[in-house]
Amino acid sequence: QVQLVESGGGLVQAGGSLRLSCAASVRTFSSYNMGWFRQAPGKEREFVGTISSSGGSTRYADSVKGRFTISRDNAKNTVYLQMNSLKPEDTAVYYCSARRVGFSEYVFWGRGTQVTVSS
């Protein structure tokens, strides 16, 4: 079982930055690929980005590429989402999720943290 807790959300003006953190309670954090997703009001949850178990590989949605950066610290069981040049359309609840290496689905989810970007 993997427990995930996001933090770092808040209210920021357009053009600003925020860094989200996701702390994982699991012994084998380095065995999990980690993903960030978001869900805006009235919309379906969408993929933001993912990072491999070692941190050596990342992939991003086109909508955030060049503005968002995912990193992880396996010694601290934590994954980060650095968000720069924020836009009002980035407003959403942001969730982190874990997918065990060798498996295709994200099974474990945090409760999310709200990010609101004002224009």
The string of pLDDT tens digits covering residues 50-71 is: 999 999 999 999 999 999 999 9
Percent of the chain with pLDDT over 90: 97
Contact (Cβ atoms closer than 8 angstroms) between residue 51 and residue 70: yes
Mean pLDDT, the chain, whole residue set = 97
**In 3D, which of 14, 32, 34, 36 has the Cα closest to residue 95?**
36
Is the pLDDT confidence value at 113 over 90? yes
> In which band, very low, low, confident or very high, does the pLDDT at 1 lie, cut at 50, 70 and 90?
confident
